[in-house]
Chain A
Amino acid sequence: EIVMTQSPATLSVSPGERAALSCRASQSISTNLAWYQQKPGQAPRLLIYGASTRAAGIPARFSGSGSGTEFTLTISSLQSEDFAVYYCQRYNNWPPDTFGPGTKVDIK
């Protein structure tokens, strides 16, 4: 089974700064990767799929990159509403739907 890991577990960032979140797969998953944002008490929201395609309505400050085993979600200039937990998810192979453990982005 392909295992997903995310780092760091917590990222402390000041508003306006850039944040880079890492997601790694234990085997190649091509670009079959999505990113979700989850705020406290809310459902997750799809940000990125296909490793780099923004979902509808997602601001351009969110970008995804990578392929194979290493992926990055970059938030170019953090806004107050961006402080949340971010999950990566692979959607290939079997079982096909595995989420990473998450990275919490909090205010520095």
Chain B
Amino acid sequence: QVQLQESGPRLVKPSETLSLTCTVSGGSIISYYWSWIRQPPGKGLEWIGYIYYSGNTNYNPSLKSRVTISVDTFKNQFSLKVNSVTAADTAVYYCARDWGPYIHAIWGQGTMVTVSS
């Protein structure tokens, strides 16, 4: 079955760029929407944005100025970059395969990213 795995640095310094990659296995990245969602420690879920396999994107307005999501169909991966991070960006970051988009049907296990000097 389809599995998603997040990877990337677990510690990022303030003002730098957070970069994560989601690798899709057991299925193709083609013909689906793919989202990033985050969850600060002890708090709720926040949708960051999605990308369609063709490259079309949509971002949460609250993060749009700092976020870029890209896709590599050859590697079956999609990626997240968040610029100018602060402690408020400390969270577990999840990637997900969507229906629709926006219905997050299959999730990765998540990766904790801490912003600290």
Contacts and interface: CB of A to CB of B under 8 A. Distances in A.
A105 interface: no
Contact of A44 (B45, B60, B62, B102): B45
Contacts of A100: 44
B103 interface: yes
Interface stretch (B17-25, B81-89, B106-114): B106-114
B71 to A, nearest CB: 18
Interface residues of A, number: 21
Contact of A99 (B47, B58, B62): B47
Given A43-B109, A87-B44, A96 B104 contact: no
**What is the size category of the interface that chain B forms with chain A?**
20 to 34
Contacts of A95: 47, 60-62
Interface of B: 35, 44-47, 58, 60-62, 94, 99-100, 102-110
23 contacts: A34-B103, A34-B104, A36-B45, A36-B104, A43-B107, A43-B108, A43-B109, A43-B110, A44-B45, A44-B94, A44-B104, A46-B103, A46-B104, A46-B105, A46-B106, A55-B105, A87-B45, A89-B104, A91-B100, A97-B35, A98-B47, A99-B46, A99-B47
Interface of A: 34, 36, 42-46, 49, 55, 87, 89, 91, 94-102
Closest 10 CB pairs of A and B: A97-B47, A91-B102, A43-B107, A99-B45, A49-B103, A97-B102, A46-B105, A43-B110, A101-B44, A96-B102
